[in-house]
Structure 1
Amino acid sequence: MDDVARQLSNPADWALFLDIDGTLLDIAPTPDDVVVPPSLPEVLDALTARTSGALALVSGRDLAGIDRLFPGDRDAAGCHGAEWRQGGNLFAMVEAVPQGLVAAVSAGAGQLPGVRVEAKARSVALHFRDCLEREAEVVGLANAVIREAGPQFQLLEGKSVIEIIPVGATKGEAIDRFMCCPPYAGRRPVFVGDDITDESGFDAVNRAGGLSIHVGEGPGTAARFRFQSPDWLRHWLASLERSMRGISGNEHA
């Protein structure tokens, strides 16, 4: 962790992109059960200030869900990049998920005990953490719904979840969009994630000469660094903020 922190010590050089579930926060049985450590929002706010605003949350949650965990008008990409907020302005790839698609997913999931449907602003997720043996059935249901919905939707696989999202929505694309605009433009990106859904983000920052960090155990990843757990990451972020604070203080001494 110290080696990475030293590389990031100059806050003017870097842009920070952070996944939430399994990365900033420990995984919980359901998305509503996650716990935000009391000190974490303050650390994120301080890092945002140290980087002149170049910090964004990049999550599978929708923006409303992100805001419930981390209130405020912070930059963020939700639904794997299908919607995003930058500088207080809202953008989206699609208006909303069609109600017919949500209804079809819910009806199909009703025949699969243990599968839970999460309807978001721009996507629909099928969680099967409590019934891993149903993965093939969940994938089959999602593919059937996508065939009926048309070519504007695609399937995204994550940890014990299958999600139907707009075509072209990836965390890598979300990071690339942020990096085209101030205060991100001209900086080197850092992305921290934990899931296969984060691999496009790792690829994006690697192409840009940034730093990619995978949290937790798991199979092969494009990330070039690895932290053991969300708790490690939270401690590292607090240490990084202290390091940046020291640099800033020296510049104004």
Structure 2
Amino acid sequence: MDPKRSRSRVPDSLVHLIVPAETHQEARPLALLLDFDGTLVEIGDTPEAVAISPAMADTLAEASRTLSGRIAVVSGRSLEQLHHLLPPALAGGVIAASHGQELSVDGAVQAPRRTRLFVDLAFEAALHFEDFPGIVIEEKSFGLGVHYRLMPQLRDRAEQWAMAQAASHGLIVQQGDMVFELRPGGSDKGDAVRAIMALDRFAGSVPVFIGDDLTDIPAFEATRALGGQAISVGSRTADHSDERLDSVEGVRRRIAALIA
């Protein structure tokens, strides 16, 4: 890894503010906001083929204790998916799911009313791609992912179908890591960051957001606007962040260092 890319580019004055607890009068406590796929877990061949490692689960539990609960997951996955995938230290805390459409705080959920739109689109997608088993359809509470990781040569076909459905149903197409996602407009991960930082437990803290994908760029921007630090995983979003990590294990070590 290039040592120049591994160092934070934020001013020293900001780095000094990022502390795990109130160690002196001027210090502001840290708040940790984390993407899921590609950040807490390696990207899987299919959405279900992921799991948080025991070491990561232990580090996240310690972070939750050290930060007095000022830790949150911000993901494009549905809340239902995340409840199944996250360790107890995070599953019962603060989760912004579906790119901010769903917000769960200690089990209390705020979300718009669900419709059958994405159920119906999942059915249509299954029919459309039935002769292409390498296309994986991921139905979400407020979205639909068309994954082509298993057959990269089908990228254009996946994109064309997603764009046609977006035009028909007034949706937007969000490009991710070998996936095209259909979702409603009106919210993104930047909105999720702002909503989380408005919660009482996060008041007065310095946000640090860690993410790897294009959908995390609005979260980086919101975090930096709030005086915090944006950390990218890999190269895709490095130009939008203050610091770059190279792996999920690098994320775990960085979290451990932040709360030490």
The normalised TM-score by structure 2 is 0.84
Instruction: Point out where structure 1 has 5 or more consecutive residues left out of the alignment.
Output: 244-253
* Residue identity opposite 2:44 in structure 1: A
1:69 and 1:2 map into 2 onto residues whose CA distance is: 31
Residue aligning to 1:247: none
What is the identity percentage for the equivalent residue pairs of Structure 1 and Structure 2?
30
* Residue identity opposite 2:61 in structure 1: D
Once the 2 structures are TM-superposed, how far is the Cα of residue 15 of structure 1 from its aligned partner? 1.3
Residue aligning to 1:61: 77
CA contact (8 A) 1:20 1:58 kept: yes
Alignment partner of 1:87 is 2:97: no
Once the 2 structures are TM-superposed, how far is the Cα of residue 112 of structure 1 from its aligned partner? 4.1
Residue aligning to 1:137: 157
2:21 and 2:114 map into 1 onto residues whose CA distance is: 36
1:146 and 1:81 map into 2 onto residues whose CA distance is: 19
After superposition, the CA RMSD in angstroms is 2.1
Picking from 156, 168, 176, the partner of 1:148 is 168
* Residue identity opposite 2:77 in structure 1: R
2:61 and 2:96 map into 1 onto residues whose CA distance is: 17
**1:129-153 CA-partner distances (Å, limit 9, x unpaired):** 122222222111112112222x3x2
Q: Which moved more, 1:216-225 or 1:192-201?
A: 216-225
Once the 2 structures are TM-superposed, how far is the Cα of residue 31 of structure 1 from its aligned partner? 2.1
Once the 2 structures are TM-superposed, how far is the Cα of residue 182 of structure 1 from its aligned partner? 1.0
Once the 2 structures are TM-superposed, how far is the Cα of residue 125 of structure 1 from its aligned partner? 0.3
Once the 2 structures are TM-superposed, how far is the Cα of residue 14 of structure 1 from its aligned partner? 1.8
Residue aligning to 2:3: none
Q: Which moved more, 1:137-146 or 1:225-234?
A: 137-146
Alignment partner of 1:33 is 2:49: yes
Q: 1:219 to 1:68 in 2, by over 3 A?
A: closer
1:229 and 1:39 map into 2 onto residues whose CA distance is: 14
**1:143-172 CA-partner distances (Å, limit 9, x unpaired):** 2112222x3x21111010000112123111
Instruction: Point out where structure 2 has 5 or more consecutive residues left out of the alignment.
Output: 1-5, 23-28
1:41 and 1:220 map into 2 onto residues whose CA distance is: 25
SS of 1:76's equivalent? strand
2:116 and 2:247 map into 1 onto residues whose CA distance is: 33
CA contact (8 A) 1:76 1:84 kept: yes
1:33-182 aligned at under 5 Å gives the runs: 33-70=49-86, 71=88, 72-98=91-117, 99-149=119-169, 151=170, 153-182=171-200
CA contact (8 A) 1:191 1:211 kept: yes
Residue aligning to 2:18: 8
Q: 1:230 to 1:7 in 2, by over 3 A?
A: farther
The normalised TM-score by structure 1 is 0.86
Once the 2 structures are TM-superposed, how far is the Cα of residue 220 of structure 1 from its aligned partner? 5.2
CA contact (8 A) 1:155 1:164 kept: yes
* Residue identity opposite 1:114 in structure 2: G
Once the 2 structures are TM-superposed, how far is the Cα of residue 32 of structure 1 from its aligned partner? 1.7
Residue aligning to 1:248: none
CA contact (8 A) 1:43 1:237 kept: yes
SS of 2:73's equivalent? strand
2:20 and 2:122 map into 1 onto residues whose CA distance is: 46
Residue aligning to 1:211: 229
2:58 and 2:233 map into 1 onto residues whose CA distance is: 21
**1:192-249 CA-partner distances (Å, limit 9, x unpaired):** 00011111111111111100000113365311110111111112212333x1xxxxxx
